[in-house]
């Protein structure tokens, strides 16, 4: 069987551009999750599904592995099962029977460049965020406080419990408990200081 594996990093990205020119695919496995994680349901299912003499077809190297070591481990694990792995963009194919040293070298080099490009992109992103924070610090102050603590105190003084306060204010009970705990801790500290 020819089995396709397609992956994009987020749920709003589209898988349609991957492997459109591969009409002879028997089964497709997909993930909409970052490649940084090896814990991908589609990848796990694909690895379990494949049998000897199957071929895994992947759009490009970066769609399969999160880094060089991961990519090589996946390819070697599949090859050990007798499954070939074909990368369409790079025009590379790896199988147990055809252990071409030049192809292996290309795999290492291309994976290294793909990882280097990802690292450069992350560094540029971090620089851009740092520059934006320095230029517009008001945009990077975190989420504004949305809980009216005075109202929690008032409702508590009226005898309402945490669940009732949360329901009335339409906030999570954990937020109410957290505020009440902070208030209790502050009160205890004040009592210790005065005694």
pLDDT digits (tens, 9 = 90+) for 111-124: 777 778 778 888 88
* Residues catalogued as catalytic: 9
pLDDT digits (tens, 9 = 90+) for 154-181: 999 999 998 999 888 888 888 898 888 8
Residue 150 phi, psi dihedral angles, 5° rounding:
-65, -40
The answer to whether the beta carbons of residues 110 and 90 sit under 8 Å apart is: yes
Residues of the chain under the 70 pLDDT cut: 20, 99, 140-146, 185-195
Domains of the chain are: 2-119 (3.40.50.1390), 149-194 (1.10.10)
Strands 2-8 and 27-32: parallel
pLDDT of residue 181: 84
């Amino acid at each position: 069987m020819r089995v396709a594996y397609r992956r994009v990093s987020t749920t709003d990205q589209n898988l349609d551009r991957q492997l459109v020119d591969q009409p002879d695919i028997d089964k497709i496995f997909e993930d909409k999750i970052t490649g940084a994680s090896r814990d991908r349901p589609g990848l796990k299912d694909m690895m379990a599904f494949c049998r000897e003499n199957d071929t895994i077809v992947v759009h490009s190297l970066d769609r399969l592995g999160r880094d060089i070591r991961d990519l090589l481990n996946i390819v070697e694990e599949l090859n050990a099962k007798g499954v070939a792995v074909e990368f369409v963009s790079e025009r590379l194919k790896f199988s147990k029977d055809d252990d071409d040293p030049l192809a292996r070298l290309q795999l290492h080099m291309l994976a290294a460049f793909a990882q280097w490009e990802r690292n450069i992109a992350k560094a540029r992103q971090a620089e851009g965020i740092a520059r934006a924070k320095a230029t517009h610090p008001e945009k990077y102050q975190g989420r504004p406080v949305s809980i009216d603590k005075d109202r929690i105190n008032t409702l508590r003084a009226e005898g309402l419990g945490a669940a009732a306060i949360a329901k009335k204010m339409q906030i999570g009970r954990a937020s109410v408990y957290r505020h009440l705990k902070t208030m209790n801790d502050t009160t205890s500290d004040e009592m210790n200081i005065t005694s």
